């Protein structure tokens, strides 16, 4: 893996944005995105939230002359709904009374000066994946944490990863007590490894980086 690190202003924008990814995992994500950018293909993220990780993908995409694509319905995943620990009242549309993280995401990109380097797709991941027909240099799965959602993200997007491209899976927690937060991503990670299509490159915190080294998924 490359040892590329973001410039101070990009790292500051990342750390100042609303979101949950720790800085160490962010640096690993950035390094992977820089490496994948050399393939000359788009870098795609599933699970935008408010754009914290998108900043890093977008900066790497800008340097490589490719686009960062981020997919989210912006209504929040299960654990971000009212009554749950990860709920943020600031992300609720005051008129509709439902979550809407799109305005916060747009502010994040505008503040970081990266709007021109991101294609934001507002929709549910499986629906978008069904109509996607281009190869990708990187897929970063950071969406819902149920088996249904994590599996759909993997099955929808892994087939589009080009040879030598990278698959990143966030919130991989092997311990059974983390059933709600990270067991579904962990099971997807195990499935990717057992498929023979992907080989692990690195592990940083809960972030796993795998490279496509074979066909299938």
Active site (catalytic) residues? 145
Residue by residue, DSSP assigns 79-109 as GGSTTSTT--GGGB-TTT-SB--HHHHHHHH
What would the two tokens of residue 203 be?
A: 């592990």
Residue by residue, DSSP assigns 11-29 as HHHHHHSSS---HHHHHHH
Rg for the chain (alpha carbons), in Å?
16
Say if residues 141 and 170 touch (Cβ distance below 8 Å). yes
């Amino acid at each position: 893996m490359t040892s590329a690190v973001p410039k101070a202003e990009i790292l500051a924008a990342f750390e100042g944005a609303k979101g949950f990814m720790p800085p160490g995992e962010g640096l690993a994500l950035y390094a992977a995105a820089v490496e994948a950018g050399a393939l000359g293909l788009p870098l795609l993220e599933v699970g935008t939230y408010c754009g914290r990780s998108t900043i890093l993908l977008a900066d790497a995409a800008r340097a490589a002359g490719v686009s960062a694509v981020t997919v989210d319905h912006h209504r929040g995943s299960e654990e971000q709904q009212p009554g749950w620990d990860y709920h943020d009242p600031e992300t609720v549309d005051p008129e509709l009374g439902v979550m809407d993280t799109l305005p916060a995401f747009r502010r994040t990109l505008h503040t970081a000066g990266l709007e021109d380097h991101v294609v934001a797709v507002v929709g549910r991941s499986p629906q978008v994946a069904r109509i996607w027909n281009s190869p990708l240099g990187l897929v970063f799965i950071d969406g819902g944490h149920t088996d249904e959602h994590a599996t759909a993200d993997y099955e929808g997007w892994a087939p589009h990863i080009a040879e030598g491209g990278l698959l990143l899976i966030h919130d991989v927690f092997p311990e059974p007590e983390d059933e709600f937060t990270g067991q579904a991503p962990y099971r997807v990670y195990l499935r990717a490894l057992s498929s023979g299509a992907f080989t692990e490159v690195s592990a940083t915190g809960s972030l796993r980086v795998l490279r496509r080294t074979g066909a299938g998924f």
